[in-house]
Amino acid sequence: MQKSIWIFGGIAGVLCAVLEYLFFNSSEGSANVLYDTKIVVMVVCLSFGLVWLRRQLGGTVSIARTLLSGIMISLVRAIVMIASFTFFYYPTGDFYKPKLEESYVQAEKKISSDDKIKSADKEMVLEETKKQIANQYTPQGYMLITVGMSLVTGFIFSVLMAAFISTNLMYKTE
């Protein structure tokens, strides 16, 4: 495998894991800022990794190689983030409990102020929302969300990078 996949996937994973650590340790962190920053970190590392891959291959890289490498960088990032989540989660998930409780409070405020939900249904909707939030703070839920988000974001930005840096080798004549 290419070095750029491991290097830039690892850098993106470590930076995103540090951002999550800081978010879960702070009392005034915004989840939206966290997610946006993680996407920016991934896009920057993905871009640098694909440009470096192109240089390693002598200035010509195929569209398929660009897409595959971008997706692999995204997967390496996800693996590093999952490993750090698992490290802080076990044995009881105490590291994430304060943010989990804060998420419950925010969900309760949002559901209670939502006029589209009938009063009789609010308790049921709140319980269902709490279950969904709790699943995000378990290793299995975190793995699914992280891998899914990484693959989708990695694929989209790999397609964009392929349009800018790749060569369609099918039509290349020598």
pLDDT tens for residues 114-131? Answer: 888 888 888 898 999 999
Pair 15, 60 in one domain: yes
% of the chain residues with pLDDT over 70: 95
Higher model confidence: residue 11 or residue 115? 11
- What's the confidence (pLDDT) of residue 9? 94
- What's the confidence (pLDDT) of residue 152? 95
Average pLDDT, integer, range 6-23:
94
Domain residues for 27? 1-91+139-174
Pair 104, 38 in one domain: no
- What's the confidence (pLDDT) of residue 55? 87
Q: Average the pLDDT over each of 2-6, 41-45, 131-135 and give the range with the smallest value.
A: 2-6
Pair 45, 79 in one domain: yes
Pair 143, 122 in one domain: no
Average pLDDT, integer, range 78-92:
91
User: Torsion angle of alpha carbons 28, 31, 35, 36, nearest 10°?
Assistant: -70
- Model confidence at 173, pLDDT cuts 50, 70, 90, reads low
For 67-102, letters b (16+ CB in 10 Å) and e give bebbbbbbbbbbbbbbebbeeebeeeeebbeebeee
Pair 124, 172 in one domain: no
| pLDDT surpassing 60 at residue 1 | no
Whole-model pTM: value is 0.83
Structure token pair of residue 105: 């409070």
Pair 74, 23 in one domain: yes
The domain tally of the chain equals: 2
